A and B are shown apart, each in its own frame.
Chain A
Amino acid sequence: MNGVLTVHVDGIGWRSPGLADWDAARALLRDGGAPALIGASGASPALLPPNERRRAPDTVLLACDVAGQACAMAASEPAQLPCVFASMHGDIAITEHLCMTLAANPLELSPTKFHNSVLNAATGYWTVATQCHAASNALSASGASFAVGLFEAAAEAHANGTSTLFAAYDAGARGALAETMRAEASHGVAFVLSPERGARTVAALRLRHDGDGDGADVPEARGAWFGVALLPLFGALAHGHSARLRLPAGRGTALAIEVLA
């Protein structure tokens, strides 16, 4: 192998403020629009039982929503799919709440808030709701969380020879931490990725981790993993076009993505 991983996109999920699914996002992107990221995501995924939907934080609702969409489009049974969930900030509203409670009265910390605070809360709720016993991963890589998570999901798909679910999500929050990290955007996307082309495949992604560039690539330390650099990917998926793009993946490294229609 030459370090290139080619994966086939069999399903896509999307949610951002005002855009409830990939169909809505695709229509906007085809018209040359850019999605708004500030505001409530509105996610309330039906696959979570009502009790869980009530207990789950926004990040979990968002992640499960887009993951469910991608599985439905791919006609994939979620119970069989290993998954990789990526988030830049984790649940910043809950982190903020924990820290404020610890500062005021640590013995009043809520056990539910605490177990919802782990970065793998979304994979926990998702695997329980879908009765998925496959491997689940929760990953973060600062502003490169989408790029690095996508590459990890592609690596798992190839290493295990099986379709793999990938979701990237973050939910905006208010407070001192959110302000420091400029964690304003609420957005989730998901793919079902397969190592082989299938009946549901809508595009292929050729992914190459590039650590030999000039070292100028640096992921954002604050803000969101979604930005103008990612528009060519989703624009190409919306139009059914090919495209090439490059996303920062780490300190001086990048993920080169080729979209093959």
Chain B
Amino acid sequence: MPSRIPPLAITAYTATSALGRGRRAHVEALRDRRTGLRDNDFTAAPLACAIGRVDGLEAQPLPAEFAEHDSRNNRLAWLGLGADGFLDAARAAIDRHGASRVALLVGTSTASIGSTEQAHLALEDGRFAPAFASPALHTPHSLGLFLEHVLGTRGPCSTIATACSSSAKIFAQGERLIRLGIVDAAILAGVDTLCGSVLFGFNALELVAPEACRPFDVARRGISIGEAAGFALLERDGAGAPRLLGYGESSDAHHMSTPHPHGLGARLALADAFARAGVGAHEVDYVNLHGTATVKNDEVEAALLADSFPPTTRASSTKGWTGHTLGAAGILEAVITLLAIEHGFVPGTLNTDTRDPLCDARLALANEERAVRVALSNSFGFGGNNCTLAFGCAA
């Protein structure tokens, strides 16, 4: 078991998704139970499914100085970075600590692969046309390169790409670098955007629902894919700021695209998150579940919920609002969890009519007004890659 860690302050955070730009848009959509999902209008080839699309990215190129980075993914990063004053807060932290004392840690599963797809649609004599020749677009690190250019950080900078746990794991990475004294702050960014690879890839795996996803519903039929950008700033101190209390990371060691049938990896991640946070299940007010609405994920997670938490814990999946934003899901749902703490409410589970009998009343379908002091967020990815984050209210 890992040792307890000192909590860190989350001094700024924001998200942009199909629900809108910034925290207020997310709180309002969650409170109003207004989904961001719509019928697929993204792919050129028809694919009957719902998507969580961010409007307007097509018409918002990056500023000319960042043209080499111009992709749908980096446009969404740019849009999200400016929300809720996050860019100003990040720049203030860089001024406060010094650029070399601030890490830039990003998580994404697809990076700018949408641009690589476009380049293949427009090959000239079997080669990329000049418009698609920028190497900054065709690397898994494209988001990191772009944000490092924008922000001018001089601390460690990497892209974690562990599929759907990517941008949860950057919280763990940031905590380690701060605790070891390598840096004094970490700017965390998770961005993933709609692209053909994921829509047709998950479709090939028969994991995409034909309608808007219904997490934990007895008749659930799979995921709805969405896009999002989330950002958080981790520092040692911050009056009034919510806290990162702990995290747990694990591997299922079971299968590339199917979770462990008994949720072994998920249970290990939860146990490590409790140990680092120094909290027990009885203290957890809310769990934002991975809740993808695949048959398997929700089955495993429902059992985990029933086995590991007291009846007082409330849990939900918010993917009926945003869709599954893949590599951005970790930080998007971390932001939603922080909003639940800040605003004192538990978002329910949208689109779900009849709970799977495996779920008990711990699964909140309706929204609930209640104080949330300690909350968890689960993110589980392909390759059996799991991460659970623990957050707490301001000290």
Contacts and interface: CB of A to CB of B under 8 A. Distances in A.
Interface string A168-209: 000000001101110000000000000000000000000001
Contact of A180 (B2, B138, B264, B268): B138
B344 interface: no
Contact of A132 (B119, B149, B251, B257): B251
B117 A102 contact: yes
Taking each of B197, B264, B383, which has the highest tally of chain A beta carbons within 10 Å of its own beta carbon?
Answer: B383
Interface in B163-180: 163, 169, 172-173, 175-177, 179-180
Interface in A1-16: 1-3, 5
Contacts of A249: 156-157
Contact of B158 (A2, A135, A139, A251): A139
Interface in B338-366: none
A76 interface: no
Contact of B200 (A87, A102, A130): A102
A86 to B, nearest CB: 8
Contacts of B144: 140-142
B268 A111 contact: no
A242 interface: no
A155 B180 contact: yes
B40 to A, nearest CB: 12
Most buried by A among B109, B123, B156: B156
A106 B128 CA distance: 20
A115 B383 CA distance: 8
Contacts of A132: 251, 253
Nearest to A155: B176
B180 A128 contact: no
A145 B139 CA distance: 11
A89 B139 contact: yes
B45 A253 contact: no
A3 B154 contact: no
Contacts of A134: 250-251
Interface stretch (A43-51, A65-73, A118-126): A118-126
Interface stretch (A32-40, A156-164, A228-236): A156-164
B160 A109 contact: no
A123 B256 contact: no
Contacts of A145: 141
A110 B205 CA distance: 8
Contacts of A152: 156, 158, 173
A211 B154 contact: yes
Interface in A87-127: 87-90, 95-96, 98-100, 102-103, 106-107, 109-111, 114-121, 123-125, 127
A138 B182 contact: no
Interface residues of A, number: 73
A142 B139 contact: yes
A116 B159 CA distance: 18
Nearest to B179: A159
Nearest to A183: B138
Contact of A115 (B145, B175, B382): B382
Contact of B113 (A95, A111, A128, A135): A95
B211 interface: no
Contact of A177 (B109, B138, B156, B182): B138
Nearest to B121: A103
Contacts of A88: 139
B265 interface: yes
B253 A119 contact: no
A99 B120 contact: yes
Given A115-B382, A117-B201, A127-B384, A133 B180 contact: no
Given A102-B197, A141-B144, A176 B119 contact: yes
A124 B256 contact: yes
Contacts of B56: none
Contacts of A1: 180-182
Given A140-B139, A140-B140, A253 B154 contact: yes
A221 interface: yes
B256 A140 contact: no
A158 B383 contact: no
A211 B197 contact: no
B204 A110 contact: yes
A90 B166 CA distance: 15
B135 A158 contact: no
A106 to B, nearest CB: 4
B367 interface: no
A141 B159 contact: yes
Interface string B199-212: 01111111000000
Contacts of A2: 181
Given A1-B180, A127-B383, A133 B119 contact: no
A192 B148 CA distance: 30
A221 B383 contact: no
A221 B136 contact: yes
Contacts of B172: 135
B254 interface: yes
A141 B205 contact: no
Contacts of B257: 111, 115
Contacts of A114: 197, 200-202, 204-205
Interface of A: 1-3, 5, 82, 87-90, 95-96, 98-100, 102-103, 106-107, 109-111, 114-121, 123-125, 127-128, 130-142, 145, 148-149, 151-152, 155-156, 158-160, 176-177, 179-181, 209-212, 221-222, 249-253
29 contacts: A98-B117, A98-B201, A106-B47, A109-B203, A111-B204, A118-B161, A119-B161, A120-B162, A120-B163, A120-B382, A123-B251, A125-B383, A128-B384, A133-B264, A135-B249, A135-B251, A139-B159, A140-B141, A141-B144, A148-B158, A177-B120, A180-B135, A211-B99, A211-B101, A211-B154, A222-B135, A251-B145, A251-B149, A252-B154
Closest 8 CB pairs of A and B: A124-B383, A211-B100, A211-B154, A114-B201, A135-B249, A119-B161, A1-B181, A159-B176
